[in-house]
Amino acid sequence: AQSVTQLGSHVSVSEGALVLLRCNYSSSVPPYLFWYVQYPNQGLQLLLKYTSAATLVKGINGFEAEFKKSETSFHLTKPSAHMSDAAEYFCAVSGPHMEYGNKLVFGAGTILRVKS
């Protein structure tokens, strides 16, 4: 069965520093991969998605992620953190296969803290 592991429930970076949020997936078939961001008491906003095209995916707010099949990873990065990036980030997997059952499978989430 498919699963998503986000390493690090909390990540703290200084403003202007590199942001790296880790996501590894487990799937027997090619997945579609997503990163979502959630601000307190709000729903989730789609940051970016990988759907078997380019392995380096650019999203909104300066974020990008690279799909690495050999490492079964889809880590999220941003070159320079901004205070407004402080939020919770969720990695998720889905795809056009019966294995996914038409659903998104979410990781546990990573809370990003940005220090001034």
Partner 1 sequence: GAVVSQHPSWVICKSGTSVKIECRSLDFQATTMFWYRQFPKQSLMLMATSNEGSKATYEQGVEKDKFLINHASLTLSTLTVTSAHPEDSSFYICSARVVGATYEQYFGPGTRLTVT
CA distance 65 to 16: 18
Site for partner 1 in 4-33 (CB under 8 A): 32
For 111, other C-beta atoms within 10 Å of its C-beta total: 15
Interface residue with partner 1, options 70, 84, 102, 116 (CB under 8 A): 102
Question: In the complex, what is the shortest distance from the CB of residue 80 to partner 1, in angstroms, rounded to a whole number?
Answer: 26
Question: In the complex, what is the shortest distance from the CB of residue 72 to partner 1, in angstroms, rounded to a whole number?
Answer: 18
Instruction: Give 76's contacts (C-beta < 8 A, 6+ positions apart).
Output: 19, 20, 21, 23, 35, 47, 48, 63, 64, 65, 89, 91
Listed ranges 15-23, 41-49, 57-65, 68-76: which one lies at the site for partner 1 (CB under 8 A):
41-49
DSSP H stretches of helix in 12-115: none
Binding site for partner 1 (CB under 8 A): 32, 34, 36, 41-46, 49, 51, 90, 94-96, 100, 102-104, 106-109
